[in-house]
Copies of this chain bind each other. A is one copy, B any other.
Amino acid sequence: MSSEALKRATTLEDVARVAGVSRATVSRVINGVRNVDPAIQDAVRQAITRTGYVPNSAARSLVTRRTGALALVISGSDAPETPDHHVGGEIFADPFFGRVVSGVFTGLRPLDLHPVLMLADSAEARDKALTYLRQGNADGAMVVSTHSRDPLPAQLLAAGIPTVLFGRPPTPLSLSCVDLDNREGGRIAADHLHARGRHRVAAVSGPLGVRAARDRLSGFREAMADHGIHQLPHVEGDFTREDGERAMASLLRRYPDLDGVFAANDLMAQGALAVLAEHRRRVPEDIAVIGFDDSSAATAGRPHLTTVRQPVEEMAAEMTRVLLDHLARPGRAATTVLFEPTLIERQSA
């Protein structure tokens, strides 16, 4: 009781003393385990408010082996760090990132869990992230892994860290994942372009090191072949708007009579639209453009993009749910949840 308590944070012990019970009882009241006499419960609660007690989560974690944090790892391709560019700038600028975060929060909101963000865009960063996770700083990991050769998923698996992937890995791992049927998405785009009577079409794909990009392209190609179109100009982009502009310009130069373009994401489609406008091509009259994602970029410019929707928020929320499930019941088999793309018809195609 000696005042001048020197700022020592109040502990369970203090509360117990004030309430006149044992530490164990206070703990029971706080965690709601077992029956505790209502009168004592009251006393404890009063003591808690009186002392302003807040449990120390490090101490709690030490014994429960739970932290209340989930890692959200953005495991990008090794980005060259240009001096004027900020860390992960391109990744974080992509609407995709915000949608994932939003979905994760949707899945986490009801619980008392928080996402800790990690950027694994280099071997060094990946090691750091792995170490961090190994140290038990988070209960599990959600990994948005863009590149095919990313070793992180396998490392997490080996380390025994509960993990769920956004996007299937190139070679199956016994890790749960959530993904879109990208091939089918590509097919949808092709079918739509074909139904609109476009026969001189081209594709702006994403980086072919990314499985989703390859799948979208091959789905598109397959369906186009089904429609009898076998020649398919193709430029590889990097999913940025700037690259969409560059790709469209190059396509236009080489194939001036194009009447349809499929871009593997909305950002690149938006870039294509801008270049087309500069070239005075009317969309969709002269040339139809179809995007992918249905992100905010789809309705940012004019005309609004017709696009293949990827329900990123739902997928991220599902990824979170799956991870929570694994945490709740360890040893559960890995599952893959596949989402179906849908066509969102707007004005550009």
Q: Which of B93, B105, B300 is A98 in contact with, Cβ under 8 Å?
A: B93
Given A114-B132, A277-B302, A278-B302, does the pair A86, B102 have CB atoms closer than 8 Å?
yes
Q: Is A58 at the interface (CB under 8 A from chain B)?
A: yes
The stretch among A62-70, A140-148, A217-225, A255-263 that forms the contact with chain B is A62-70
Interface membership of chain A positions 78-94, coded 1 if the CB is closer than 8 angstroms to chain B and 0 otherwise:
00000000111100111
- A interface residue count range (under 10 / 10 to 19 / 20 to 34 / 35 or more): 35 or more
CB < 8 Å neighbour of A117 from B93, B115, B277, B300: B115
**Among the listed stretches A49-57, A164-172, A183-191, A226-234, which one makes contact with chain B, having 4 or more residues with CB under 8 Å of it?**
A49-57
A79 to chain B minimum Cβ distance, whole angstroms, is 11
A136-B98 contact, Cβ under 8 Å, with A86-B103, A274-B300: no
**When chains A and B are docked, how far (Å) is the Cα of A301 from the Cα of B93?**
16
Taking the complex as formed, is A31 at the interface, i.e. its CB lies under 8 A from any CB of chain B?
no
**Across the interface, which residues of B come within 8 angstroms of A61, CB to CB?**
58, 61
Tell me what chain A mostly uses at the interface: helix, strand, loop, or mixed: helix
Question: Does A196 belong to the interface (CB within 8 Å)?
Answer: no
Taking the closest CB of chain B, its distance from the CB of A284, in whole angstroms, is: 16
Contact of A274 (CB < 8 Å), options: B135, B301, B313? B301
Let me know if A135 and B87 touch, CB within 8 A: no
- Could you give, for residues 107-137 of chain A, a 1 whenever the CB lies within 8 Å of some chain B CB and a 0 otherwise? 0010010111111000000001001101111
- A216 proximal to B (CB < 8 A): no
- Interchain residue pairs with CB less than 8 A apart (8): A54-B131, A58-B61, A58-B136, A69-B116, A86-B105, A105-B119, A116-B117, A300-B301
* Bound CA span A112–B116, Å: 13
Contact A57 B137 (CB under 8 A): yes
User: Which of B57, B105, B241 meets A300, CB within 8 Å?
Assistant: B241
Chain B residues contacting A55 (CB-CB under 8 Å) are 135
Chain B residues near A93: list those with CB within 8 A: 95, 98-99, 102, 296
Q: How far is the CA of A299 from the CA of B55 in the complex (A)?
A: 49
A178 and B143 alpha carbons, distance in the complex (Å): 32
Cβ of B67 and Cβ of A58 under 8 Å apart?
Answer: yes
Q: From known contacts A101-B117, A137-B68, A241-B296, infer whether A58 and B62 are also in contact, taking CB-CB under 8 Å.
A: yes
